[in-house]
Structures are given as C-alpha cells and as structure tokens.
Structure 1
Amino acid sequence: MRRFLWLFLLFLSLLCVAARLKDPYSILGVQKKADGQEIKKAYKKLAKLWHPDKNESPDAEKKFIEINQAYELLMDPERRRLYDTTGQTEEQPNFMRQHIGKMSITFKSYQNSIVLLSKKQPYLILFYSDWCLACAHIEPIWRRLYEELEPINFGMATVHAGHETELARKIGVKTVPYLIMLLDGHPYHYTEPSLSMVSSLDFIRSKFPHKLVQRITDENLETFLNGWMDNKVRVLIFGRLDIIRLRYLTVGWEFRERAVIGYVQMDRADTDSIRQRFSVSNKVDTLLVFHEDMHAPVASAAMTDLPYPTMKDIIEGNKFLVLPRLSSQSVFDALCPVENVRSRRRLCVVLVTQDDPAHDPSRAALREYASGDQARERDRVRYTYIFREKQVEFMNALTAGSGSPVETNHHIVILWRKDQNHLKYEWLEGGWEVEPEKHNTSREVLKETVQRLLHSNQPMTYETVVQELFDEHAQGIVWRIINKLVSVQDYLRDNITQDDIVPAVSIFCTVLFIVAGGYVMSYLVKLEEERISGSQTTFVDQNGKITPVPQLRIHELRGETYNGLIRLLKPGCRTVVVLCDPKTKPKLMPKFHKACWPYRKNKTLMFAFLNIERASAMEWYKRILVLGLPEPRDLNINPKNTIGTVIALNGHRKYYCLYHAKHPESIFGTAPTPGAPETENLRRRHGHSSISGDFMGFSDNDSESDSDVEAGDARKDSVASDKPLLNYYSNILFEDQLLEDLSNWLDRLFEGTTHRYHINYWPDWPGK
C-alpha cells in the first residue's frame, strides 16, 4: 500500500511538471510591457511557424500548444495580472486560488502596512508554496478560520514562501505550511505538529495579553470602575460562557489604549449582585460603558449575540472621559485636532493641575461644567486637563509668553491648533476658582471667552510652537526590558535548536550584562545627584565669616560656559546674570541669591555672575550693549559703573533685559511705599535720570574715580546731614543699595513688563 501511494505521488508530480506552463513572455518573445497588438502580432507569426500541419518537427505540436496557452493567458487581463504579481498560471496547482490570490502579501506590504495595522488588529499569516500537499490538506481549515475570524476584526493574509524568501527568512519560516500570529508587530509562531481548528484557536487565544479582558466579580468591581484616573473608560461585558470569546479579546486589543474591558460571567454566584445592580438580563449578552460616574453607564447594548461592529461603534463613540487628560500626543491629536481656518476654530480648554488629590476639586468643577449645557458645543470645544509636572516642555512653551501667569496651577488655557506644532492660545482671566463665592464668576468668564473665540474672527493673543507631548502611558525601562526578554524567549523557543544553544546563551548573558550595567550606572548617577543636592553654597563677608546658604546653583559666565548658559538655551529658558568684581562679590552675591531664591525651582531659569575684571567679560558686555542700541556708537565703558547690573538673557529669542539701581525702569513711575521712610520714597521718585547710559555702564569719562558707586553704609550720617535728601540720593549710590529693588524687577521681568533689548545674534566670546 505504501509503495502504491509513493508511485501515485511520483506520477502526480511528473504530470504536474509536464503540464506546467513556462514563462509566457519568453514563449511569445515579447517584453513584459508589450501591449495587445504586439502580443497578437507575435502569436500569429509563431503560430504559422509551429503549426503541426506546416512544421514536420516532432516537437511542433507541443510547441504550438505552449504558444496558444501563452497567448490566451496574456490576452486575459486578470490572468496576466495574476501571473505578473504571483507567477501563477492556470496550469500550476492553485492552492486556494479564490482566497490566496486576494490575501497574498509581499515583503514591502508586510513592512509598510501589516506591521502598523497589527497595533490595533491582530493578524494571522499563512506561509505556503507550490507543490505543497500539506498546504492543500489544510485548505478547508484555513477557509474556516477565515470565516470565523475575519468578521471579528482579524486580519488574514498569506505569503508565498518561494517568492518572498526575504520575508520568510526574517520571520524564521523553515517549512510550509507555516502559521504565525502578528500582534503589535511581533510574530508569534504556531509550533504544534499538526494544524486543526481547535489547536489554532487555542494558539490564537493564548497569545493575547493575559489581562487584556479582566474577569470581574463582586470583589473587584469597585476597584475596576474607580480606576478611571488612568485616563481610560471602563467597559463591562456580561456573557454566559465560561471562556472569554475571541471577539471580546479583539475589541479589547483595538481599544486597549483608551478602554479597559471587564468580563462578567452571569451564571456565577459572585456576579449576581453586579447583574442586579445594573439591571442586566441573564438571557442576553450586554455591554456597558462607564466614564467617571461608576453608578451610571453612558452607553449600553444588549443582544443575544453581540456582534463586533456594534461593540466597536459604541466604544468608539464613548472612548474619552467627560474630562480626559492630555496624557499623550495621540490623545492630544484626537481631542484637539488641527483646524487652520479661523472661522471654524476647534478649541481645547485645558485646566493646568498637578497629580495631587488637592487639585481634585478644580478638576471636578470643570468636569461638572463640561457635562452640562456646554456639551452641545462638543464638536468644536473639548474640555481637558493636564498634569503640569509630567508635561514640562509643553507647559514651558505655553508660559514663555509675557502674559502667562507666574503660577499656572488652577489656571485655564484655551488652545487652537493651526497645524501640528503651531498653536494659538489665551489664558482665562482670573484663573479657575472653585470657592462658592467665586466659582460662578469663573464659569461666566469661561463661557463668554469660549463663545467669543468660537463665533468671532478675533485673533487669539499668543502663539507658540510645541513639541510632542510626553506619553504618560509608555512603559518604563524595566517593563521594556522584561518585554524584550519575553520576546527573546519566544524566539529561542520557536527557532533555536540544540546546535544553536551556545549563541542563544550568549545573547541572554549579553542582555543580562546590559541590564546590570544600566542599574549600576543609574545608582551611581543617583548618588552623585544626592551629593550635589546636599551641598551648600557659602559666601565670605567683610569680616571673613563663612555663611552657609541653601543650594542655588550660580555659575560663572565665561568662555567655557557661554554656549550652555546663553547660546544653546531651549525655548522659554532664560539666564539671569549679575555683574560684579572680586571686591564687591561678597556683598552682592548674598543679595542676588536672596532675590533669586523664590525662583530656584523654576527649571526654565539659570543664574550666573560675570566678573568684570576679566577683559574678555567686559568686551563681551560691551558688544551686546552695542548690538542692543538703535544706532551703533562707540562706547566708553567705566567698569565700576557696571557693578550691580543684572542682565536677563533669552538665548532663543535673542533679547535681554537690564536692571540697575539707576535704570529708569527701576526708579521712575514707582509709587511711594506706605510706611516707608521719606528718604526711600524720595529716592524712588527722583532718580538720577540725567546721566544717559549710566545704568548700562556708559560714561564719557574714562576715570574710574567718576563712579557713582561708593562703598559704605547706605544711610551713613543721613540723619545728621544738613544736605537736602533729594540731592544726596541723586548723586551718590552705595553698594548696599545696588540690588535693593531686584526682587521687584524680577517680578516685572516674569510679568513681561520690562523693556527688551533685541539683538540680531549672540556675539562670539572674545578670545575664543
């Protein structure tokens, strides 16, 4: 019997080889680009030459049949297209021609399309080849799999292993037929010796993540529904089967970034109270979607057999919370899409908060506002919130404008995206108040502002460029390493034989070494950061006493630090620099430190000092003063007059702001301080204004003796002096007074009310 079967298979193979059609283009002697007229002309010529009635050659009949078959194939557009793409003809064994012809993919389509689609749609891919009897044997199984899985969002594809050898080698296909399942770009190999419906479905089910659909009982229901702070909606599916159906797994896979799916088996004793709580019938399958309110679903569906399209439509329409968080770029794109036409603005109302329970009342108030009458504008207005500490770069871009609040927590910013990176925005006046006596006012201001921006062509106040949002849901390095190790394990199990054990162990040890090295480096970096943060800055006073001051890193601006402190500053960042010399530094630095201390936690600021005794430092200072003047002129710098000057530099936007005790911004238009000494108010109202440029260090006299800065006590002999106070304070300025108003000036700096001296470029540091 075995011998008969072997002879039959050999006969069948010879018969197929004999019947196989060669390349039809070479048979007719035409190019692949040949049109119908060229093919017909070549056919007529060869048919006359090889017609058995006119050609006595013993191969004439066989040749004439090949010519006719080639002509018929190339004149049929569908058969010609099939041959050009797959190499198949009707004379070849056509394994599942009706299915494989339509589902066959190439290496290019696998890389550019299938891998991306597998992030939301699981794919089942079958590798086959010609003359594969086992492939023909599993044809009915594959057809049944297609009928079962395609309606529940499975992608089905086939690959001709002989034509797509690169793809087969990349995935690790060693024989045909070969089945893989593709999830999020990762191929999982079917390793059972035989393929059947039961084994293939078990294989598919086992490759989905373990907790993709969670089983829900009375014990974990509250925890499940209350978990929406992860920014995902909750979906409960009530079913009667003990196993979780594949359609629930595929819908969970598609919406895993926006929804968490729970399965309630209705015939269990520990789920009866859940079914009664939500009035679910035990005769039909039911789907419930929950937002922040765990007591009332926002959408539901009940059917004898929940179809996949119905579940998809319901979840798709309710996949965002009432007040979702801008937690990733994909969420930002979905909630705040680009709309570059002003008359059709789509606004995004964003509440700035922190990941702190103390900020819950602000979020709850905006959530209540968003779920009210304002819902009718949802197609053009979305209400969201953001965690300031997690989206630092995004918030830095929004606070770079002069009108942004100093403290942005509990404030609302209204965004309009002109394109992917550019957006216009306005800050809501007064912030978002939740106290009962102020909340109604905040609601009215928000409503009026949104309506004004929606229904008018009035331009929005500020514009900025933002980078992609940080993905708060991205896996940390530990989980990425674990997933990588799992992938390596799957690969080793599916592809490594006894002969490959040594390379596999080498790969595993290399990964472990990299992980261990990473942990050691992380630990050393942490120790270094703790050492630096624990250190203190010290200053030496005139008596030689060392005074410790809490850490505020103040760098020295010189050639080595110039690029880092100024030229390479990121957008929204500034460096504040005080000018001093070794003699005045012990007096000025504590005052500078005290004025800057409230801003020590602002990551957009850096602080430095400039030693004016360095020739290169004074030369650089002179250059930026010249660049900031409306008309170029020669400057004669008196270094003593520059002592106590504070310059705030915006490296990205190329401008600087100046502070000096004699700067007009510091001494003019300042209201008298209630309760302050009269001498102080006189000094504020009547500064020395007639000396043009003295506050920058300009002077027409080279002599350092002309300096307006005198060492000593600011009020020495002021009471006993008979001189008019105004005249006294308008001609002499003591070192102790130089930074007296710096705190007020810094407040105005961050409010955006100080004068800006714009320059075209940052000059090179002298001598570099």
Structure 2
Amino acid sequence: MICYSFLLYVLFLNYAVSLDPYEVLGVPKTASLKDIRKNYKQLVVEWHPDKNNDPKAQEKFLQLTEAYNVLADPERRKQYDLFGTIESFSSNGHDSSNRNNFRKHMYSPFDEMFSEGFNFPFEEHDISLFHKLSTTYRTYEKVFIPKSFTTPHLVLFYSDWCFACLQVEPIFKKLMDELSPLGVNFITIHVHNEQALARRLGVGSQLPQIALLTDARCSFFKEPSFSVQKMVEFFRQKLPYKMIIPLTASNVDVFLDAWREDNKVHALLFQRTLPVRLRYLINAFKHRKTITFGILAYDQEDSAAVFERFKVPGDKDSLLIFKEDKDQPSASITMVSIPVPTLQDITNNNHYLTLPRISSQSMLDAVCPVKKLCVVLFSEDSPEHDASRHTLRRFAQESRFVHNNIAFMYVFIEKQPEFVNALTSPEDSPEITLHIAAMWRMDYKKIKYGWLLGDDRDDWRDYNTTKDRLDAGLRSLVNDPYNNLLYDTALKEISDEYVQSLGVRIFNRIYMHLEMAQQSLSRQHILPAVSLIFTVIIIVILALIMNHYMKLEEEEIRKSHMQSDSSSYSSESTASTTSSMRNHSHSVSKEKKHKEIKQELKLHSLRAETYNGLVVLLKPGCRTLILFIDNKSSRKLVSQFHAMVWPYRKNKSLMFGYLNIERKQSREWFKDILLEALPPDTPLAINPRNCIGTVLSVNGYRKYFCMYHAKLTGQYGAKSKDNTIKGKGLSAYLGYNDSEYSDTDEEADLERGLHKHKSEPAPEYLLEDKLLDGFPNWLDRLFEGTTPRFYIEAWPEFKVA
C-alpha cells in the first residue's frame, strides 16, 4: 500500500512538473520577457488548432496560453518562482477548473484524496462566473483602460474564500443580464492574485467591492448593501456630467447651429418624460467625441412646439441626427423604445459631418485613415470662405465618389500651420488659400498628394464649374492614386484645436485625485486628516496675526526714530546710550523683537557696566573698535567715527564703542593695558589730550589689541615678523610718554627684524577735524592683518566710579 501511494505521488509529481510554464514554453528560468514572447509566438503558430491536426493541439494551445499569461505577468511569475504555484486566471474566457495545474514542489497528490470527503460546491459553482470574467493587471492596463473611454465597465473585486461574494453573485449576474445588452462591459479582479492592481486602485479589505471604470478612472460603489436598482442609480451618477444636454424651445436652434464651433454632429432625443433612458446615456458616452446629444421631454414647458416642428410624436421615443442643416435631419428614427442595435447603427453611420474639419490627429485618423483617398480644402476661419466650403460640402453630398472610398474635409490654415507647411514645402507649391488637394495616406506619417483646383480664379465661379473640374481631377485618381499623385511628404502631429487649457487640466486632475482619495479614505482616516488641516490653519492664522502686530510695533519705532534729532550722538544721546548699556544683558531679546526695518549702527559707551560685554567676554573671532574722546570733542569725533565705520554695520563680528578719557577710571584702565604690554617697571605717563582720536581694536578672546593714532602713520614702531610688538619698542611706538623715539636704539633694531623702515616725520600739531583722517586706511590694514598687535597676559579690571 505504501509503495502504491509512493508510485501515485511520483506520477502526480511528474504530471505537475510537465506543466511547468518554463518547460511548456521551452525557456529557462532566467529568460527575459522578450525571449518568452518570441518562443510563445513560435509555439502558438505551430500548435494553433486551425493549423495543426494533432488531437492534442487544442490542449497544447491552452497550455501555451496559460503559461505565457503566467510568465508575462511579473507578479505571477514572481509568485511561481517563490512558491512553485500560481492562481489561474481566465481572462481568455476558458474554464478556470485548471487553476491549480501549475504546481511543482508544493503539489501534493493527497489533496484530491482528502478533498473528496469535504466537497464545498459553492466555490467551484457559485463564483465560477467571477473566475471566467477575471482579468490580470496587464490585460487591465492594455485592454480595458483604453476601452474605458468609449465603453463603461463594471468591475467586481472578489476573493476565493469570500462568503459575501457568494451572496452578491446573483445580483451581479442580473446586472449583467440587464446592462450587457445596453453596451456595458463586466470584468472581475481577484484581489489576492492581483494585489498590485488592487493596491493601485485603492481596494479595501472589505470584499466584495464594485466600481465603475470610465475614462481610465474607477469610481467605487459605497452603499452598504447591493441591489440592482441602487447599482443602476450609481451607474447614472458616475457617468460624465451632461453627456446629454437638457434643451428648451428657446435654445434648440442655438444647439443645432453649434456644429460650426465644435465640429460635431448634433442629435436630438425626444422622450415623453425624464430622466434619460440608460441606453441613450451609454450610447452618448460612446460617441461623445463626435456627437453632441440634447434632449427634450414632451411634458416640458413649451416643448410641444419643437415636437410639432420636427413632426415627432409625443408618446414615443425619437432620435434625430443633424449635420450641417439644422432644419432637415440626416437620419431619424421613432419607436416606443429604440432597440440598442438600431440605436448603435444609426449613430455609427452618422457620427461625422458631411464636410468635417481636421481639428485634431484623432479626427484625421478617423475620417482619413491609411490607404484612403482624401480631398482637403484649405480655407481660413472667415465668413468669406463659407461659400467655398458650402460648394465642396454640396459636391460631397451629391458626388458618386463618396462611395468610392473618398473622404471630403477642410482645414483652417491659421490653426494648423504644421499641416499646411508640410504640403507647401516644395518650391512650386501654389498659394494654398482656397486650394483643394487630393491626399493618399501611405501610413500614419507619410502621404502622397497633388493639387486638384484653386490655381484658376474661375474654379470657384459657380457650383457647376467647380463640380466639373473636381470630377475631372478625381476621375484620374480613383483607380490608381498612388502613382497619379506627384508629391510626397511626412506629416507632423496635428494640433488639437479643442484641447483643454492648462488650468482646466490641472483642476480636473486635482478633482480626480480628490475623488480617489474620498473613495479610498474611511472615517478613521478622514478625522485625523481634518484635525491636522485645521491645526495647521489655526497656526498659520495666529502667525499672521502676530506678524501683523509686530509690523505695527516696528512702524511705531521707525516713526519715533525719524522724529528724533539727526545728531544722535550728542551728549544727551551719549547719556542715553550709556543708560541703555546698563541693561544690555537684559535687552538682547528686546532688540531682536524691536529690530528696525532699516539697519542701525549702535555705539556703546565703555564703562564698568559694559566692560565685560565689549571686551572681556567677546566671542572668538569678534572685535570691538573703541574711540577715545573727551567732553569737548565728543560730538565731532563720534559723528566722524560713526560715518567711517558705517559701511561695516552688517558685520556681525564687530562692535563699536567710545571711551571718555577724561574719566579717571578710563585713564587708569588704558594705562593698565599699556603696562601689561610693556616690560615690568617701565615708567609711563599719559597725557589725556594726546589720547583723543585714538582707536583701539580689542580682541577679547585672543587677548591682544591694535592701535590707531593720528601721529602714527603705521611705519613707526618696532614690528616683528608676526606683527606683534613687545618690550620698550611699544613705549616708543605709542608716543604717550615724554621720551623721544630713537632710530638707533639697538633693541628697537632687533625688534624690527629684517624689515627696517625709515621714520617719516609726524606733524607737530593736529586739529580735531584731522585726527581721524588716516583711520579708513588703518581699518583696511587692520582687516588685512598687517597692523601691529600688542598681546597682554590678562585684561585689567575696569574700576567702578
């Protein structure tokens, strides 16, 4: 018994291996999609039942198709490579009972043994309809998406072990019986087999779900329960808006005359009552690119006159199709209920004008396909050329050539310049206005053409003359247009005259995404999103309010500064600045908050209260420029200093201040830093008058300072290679004591190093106005790093008064 079971297992395993899709198509597992497609085409031709008399040809052909569908789909191929099994699909219409054929390593022959005792017929029987209609991602993209622009599709999403799907199956089948004859297509998608497609369409976990596919967009049915009536109402709501325009007696003529603008046939529907029958809506959806539909109901106000005008009975449905003549329909039908085949026949045979305009590439491909002779009139969008268009339209209606595969059309020269230029490129081309060309399309790009009439002014003299000359020209082309047409050219893409504007397209795209989001989002998703949006809106509103009040406060500050005295550095302003520096550590945040729109340059008074902020606690890379003044010279020197350092106001590494040298604490501090830079026991006496106009550049972090004085031109003093000055040379360099500087001093010579400069005589007396004349040049050298630096061990204490 064990041997028998083992033998049976081996036989089943061999059978499964024989149905390996790679083996069926004769390709390795590493084969590319191109190789798979190539082998499939060869084998299909070989095993096609119509060409192969082998009894197994039918079975082999189905295996090839099934294997190709598996390997051509990336998701299914990946599933098979990982698990050795795939779920079948039956988009080709054959039975899905073989969906477990492709099993390899995971196949077990005992499945059938145990399944016999547990037969659940509802899966194989009740949802077999879903399996037959099931499609794949690839088929959905390549087949059903393009068709959705002309044919509505009802899509059902299901899975195998979905008991709710079993309950929906009778309703779905009834919908098929009701809507399929009207032109609705039905497909199903297995969400477990086509997970990528289900994710893309936003299918939730709750099954089944039904959606309407139109214009490459799925609209989901959201009602909690399914019924035929609800589905029909849902179908009506989701079809594009106003495909059939409601009309009144006052606007019927305007509607029928609109063919001049929209280049479409116009159809009038007459019903006893509204709403529009679903069959008419579906037919209007199919032909909406070429036919504009309008409807009047007999029970409407003032509609009886229109019924009487066109001799339409009020108790029946009527369809009248109008082309260029608004008084005489080109086709009409009246019945109690117009059958769908009859409705389709009448619209299919009358969906283009007698003389249509080439307004887009799709229009050209439709009215003048490949291997067809076309007659084209080149005119301008002007009433002056209406007579020529009417003549050609009449010729097209009466001519026998219409039945000889010849199409008549016209083009606006100013709206299709690329098309016109393609036909006027030869040097011997005529003036194209009001010329008629015969055109033979060899393929979608290349054409052969020739000129029929328009060179002679008499060509448009009267209808009979035009007719005779067109007859003569077309008679020679009907039998052999390819050889009788002289010119050939390549056409470029025809521009769409009715393309939507960029704004409309953006709005439609946003609306589409919002609708998709609304369909895919549940209440649990929407509430947090709405909460987040309102939170952001509130934050933005509060920020705008705060910004508004800040601007008002800044405006008040600006006005107060404009009203202040232009000389902001008087003794009163100096006292005000000194008072503000006392609270410097508490006003940093206030200064940022009340920052003026216009840039300011603030000069701070160096006192004991501001000493740490201006000198001792400076950050790395920051410097403070300090001007020495006295009470007498403060107004003049501060004003000059302010003007000279104004260009550097945006430099965040610089601070500016002034020091009143007449104060005892100021002189003692200055003397202390000089003594720090001199050797011990060096005598030093400071004359305050000689210090006026001096500027110190203090680097608090690196503990050095540079000095400017009017009597020092930059060539005085002993400077070493690293721009530092030490020892007695500093005393001579400063010139604040009574000793005279000697060029023969040996120590000074050593301090000069290799660069000795000959001293230039400094002026003996200087006026206050001239004290800062050399300051701008000194500033340039300061930022270049060429000014001498005086290093100290530590910053001395600034004593409190």
Taking structure 1 as the reference length, the TM-score comes to: 0.53
Q: Residue 150 of structure 2 contacts residue 287 of structure 2 at CA under 8 Å; is this kept in 1?
A: yes
Q: Specify whether residues 432 and 328 from structure 1 end up closer, same or farther in structure 2 by C-alpha distance, changes over 3 A only.
A: farther
Q: CA deviation at 1:91?
A: 4.6
Across the two proteins, how many residue pairs are aligned to each other? 438
For residue 395 of structure 2, the aligned residue among 361, 369, 384 is 369
Q: Residue 148 of structure 2 contacts residue 215 of structure 2 at CA under 8 Å; is this kept in 1?
A: yes
In 1, Cα distance between equivalents of 2:381 and 2:202: 46
Q: CA deviation at 1:34?
A: 2.8
Q: CA deviation at 1:31?
A: 4.8
Q: Which residue of 1 aligns with 2:98?
A: 81
Q: Which residue of 2 aligns with 1:32?
A: 16
Q: Secondary structure at the match of 1:29?
A: helix
More displaced, 295-304 or 253-262? Answer: 295-304
Q: Deviations over 1:623-662 (max 9, x none)?
A: xxxxxxxxxxxxxxxxxxxxxxxxxxxxxxxxxxxxxxxx
Letter paired with 1:447: D
In 1, Cα distance between equivalents of 2:124 and 2:140: 22
Q: CA deviation at 1:294?
A: 0.7
For residue 130 of structure 1, the aligned residue among 151, 160, 163 is 160
Q: Residue 411 of structure 1 contacts residue 427 of structure 1 at CA under 8 Å; is this kept in 2?
A: yes
Q: Residue 423 of structure 1 contacts residue 465 of structure 1 at CA under 8 Å; is this kept in 2?
A: yes
Q: Deviations over 1:444-501 (max 9, x none)?
A: 2222111111135743111101122112232221221121111022022112323762
In 1, Cα distance between equivalents of 2:456 and 2:397: 17
Q: CA deviation at 1:283?
A: 2.9
Q: Which residue of 2 aligns with 1:360?
A: 386
Q: Specify whether residues 193 and 27 from structure 1 end up closer, same or farther in structure 2 by C-alpha distance, changes over 3 A only.
A: farther
Q: Secondary structure at the match of 1:32?
A: helix
Q: CA deviation at 1:27?
A: 9.6
In 1, Cα distance between equivalents of 2:144 and 2:10: 34
For residue 447 of structure 1, the aligned residue among 462, 471, 481 is 471
Is 1:389 aligned to residue 414 of structure 2? Answer: yes
Q: Specify whether residues 321 and 78 from structure 1 end up closer, same or farther in structure 2 by C-alpha distance, changes over 3 A only.
A: closer
Q: Specify whether residues 362 and 309 from structure 1 end up closer, same or farther in structure 2 by C-alpha distance, changes over 3 A only.
A: same
Q: Residue 25 of structure 1 contacts residue 32 of structure 1 at CA under 8 Å; is this kept in 2?
A: no
Runs of 5+ unmatched residues, structure 2? 1-7, 21-93, 538-801
Q: Residue 158 of structure 2 contacts residue 191 of structure 2 at CA under 8 Å; is this kept in 1?
A: yes
For residue 454 of structure 2, the aligned residue among 430, 443, 457 is 430
Q: Specify whether residues 364 and 79 from structure 1 end up closer, same or farther in structure 2 by C-alpha distance, changes over 3 A only.
A: closer
Q: Secondary structure at the match of 1:401?
A: coil
Letter paired with 2:508: N
Q: Residue 122 of structure 1 contacts residue 181 of structure 1 at CA under 8 Å; is this kept in 2?
A: yes
In 2, Cα distance between equivalents of 1:101 and 1:145: 17
Letter paired with 2:327: H
For residue 268 of structure 2, the aligned residue among 232, 236, 249 is 236
Q: Deviations over 1:330-369 (max 9, x none)?
A: 2212222212xxxxxx321111112222321221121122
Q: Which residue of 2 aligns with 1:487?
A: 512
In 2, Cα distance between equivalents of 1:492 and 1:80: 37
Q: Which residue of 1 aligns with 2:239?
A: 208
More displaced, 234-243 or 182-191? Answer: 234-243
Letter paired with 1:220: N
Is 1:113 aligned to residue 171 of structure 2? Answer: no
In 1, Cα distance between equivalents of 2:462 and 2:232: 60
In 2, Cα distance between equivalents of 1:292 and 1:329: 22
Is 1:284 aligned to residue 312 of structure 2? Answer: no
Q: Which residue of 2 aligns with 1:589?
A: none
Is 1:246 aligned to residue 294 of structure 2? Answer: no
In 1, Cα distance between equivalents of 2:160 and 2:329: 54
Letter paired with 2:529: I
In 1, Cα distance between equivalents of 2:508 and 2:285: 17
In 1, Cα distance between equivalents of 2:365 and 2:404: 14
Q: CA deviation at 1:187?
A: 0.9
Q: Which residue of 1 aligns with 2:189?
A: 159
For residue 323 of structure 1, the aligned residue among 343, 348, 355 is 355
Which has the higher Rg, Structure 1 or Structure 2?
2
In 1, Cα distance between equivalents of 2:154 and 2:9: 35
Q: Specify whether residues 132 and 396 from structure 1 end up closer, same or farther in structure 2 by C-alpha distance, changes over 3 A only.
A: same
Q: Which residue of 1 aligns with 2:134?
A: 104
Q: Which residue of 2 aligns with 1:223?
A: 254
Q: Deviations over 1:367-387 (max 9, x none)?
A: 122112x14534421111001
Letter paired with 2:177: E
Matches within 5 A, 1:157-556: 157-174=187-204, 175-229=206-260, 230-339=262-371, 346-372=372-398, 374-405=399-430, 407-431=431-455, 437=461, 440-456=464-480, 458-496=483-521, 497-498=525-526, 501=529
Matches within 5 A, 1:663-702: none
In 2, Cα distance between equivalents of 1:170 and 1:204: 22
Q: Deviations over 1:268-296 (max 9, x none)?
A: 34211111111112232111111100111
More displaced, 294-303 or 89-98? Answer: 89-98
Q: Specify whether residues 284 and 375 from structure 1 end up closer, same or farther in structure 2 by C-alpha distance, changes over 3 A only.
A: farther
Letter paired with 2:13: G
Letter paired with 1:430: G
Q: Specify whether residues 27 and 239 from structure 1 end up closer, same or farther in structure 2 by C-alpha distance, changes over 3 A only.
A: farther
Q: Residue 413 of structure 1 contacts residue 426 of structure 1 at CA under 8 Å; is this kept in 2?
A: yes
| Percent of aligned positions that are identical | 34
Q: Residue 232 of structure 1 contacts residue 321 of structure 1 at CA under 8 Å; is this kept in 2?
A: yes
Q: Deviations over 1:226-267 (max 9, x none)?
A: 111211101112122321111111101100111011122123
Q: Deviations over 1:520-574 (max 9, x none)?
A: xxxxxxxxxxxxxxxxxxxxxxxxxxxxxxxxxxxxxxxxxxxxxxxxxxxxxxx
In 2, Cα distance between equivalents of 1:459 and 1:505: 70
Letter paired with 1:210: Y
Of structures 1 and 2, the one with the larger relative CO (CA 8 A, separation 6+) is 1
Q: CA deviation at 1:85?
A: 9.0
Q: Deviations over 1:679-701 (max 9, x none)?
A: xxxxxxxxxxxxxxxxxxxxxxx
In 2, Cα distance between equivalents of 1:113 and 1:490: 24
Q: Secondary structure at the match of 2:516?
A: helix
In 2, Cα distance between equivalents of 1:173 and 1:349: 51
Q: Residue 239 of structure 1 contacts residue 284 of structure 1 at CA under 8 Å; is this kept in 2?
A: yes
RMSD between superposed Cα atoms in Å = 3.1
In 2, Cα distance between equivalents of 1:294 and 1:492: 44
In 1, Cα distance between equivalents of 2:366 and 2:517: 39
In 2, Cα distance between equivalents of 1:26 and 1:96: 33
Letter paired with 1:357: P
Q: Residue 157 of structure 2 contacts residue 190 of structure 2 at CA under 8 Å; is this kept in 1?
A: yes
In 2, Cα distance between equivalents of 1:327 and 1:337: 15
Q: CA deviation at 1:118?
A: 0.5
Q: Residue 127 of structure 2 contacts residue 166 of structure 2 at CA under 8 Å; is this kept in 1?
A: no
Q: Secondary structure at the match of 1:286?
A: strand
In 1, Cα distance between equivalents of 2:375 and 2:180: 40
Q: Deviations over 1:565-594 (max 9, x none)?
A: xxxxxxxxxxxxxxxxxxxxxxxxxxxxxx
Q: Which residue of 2 aligns with 1:618?
A: none
In 2, Cα distance between equivalents of 1:183 and 1:491: 13
Q: Secondary structure at the match of 1:113?
A: helix
Letter paired with 1:442: T
Q: Specify whether residues 359 and 436 from structure 1 end up closer, same or farther in structure 2 by C-alpha distance, changes over 3 A only.
A: closer
Letter paired with 2:415: K
Q: Specify whether residues 104 and 388 from structure 1 end up closer, same or farther in structure 2 by C-alpha distance, changes over 3 A only.
A: same
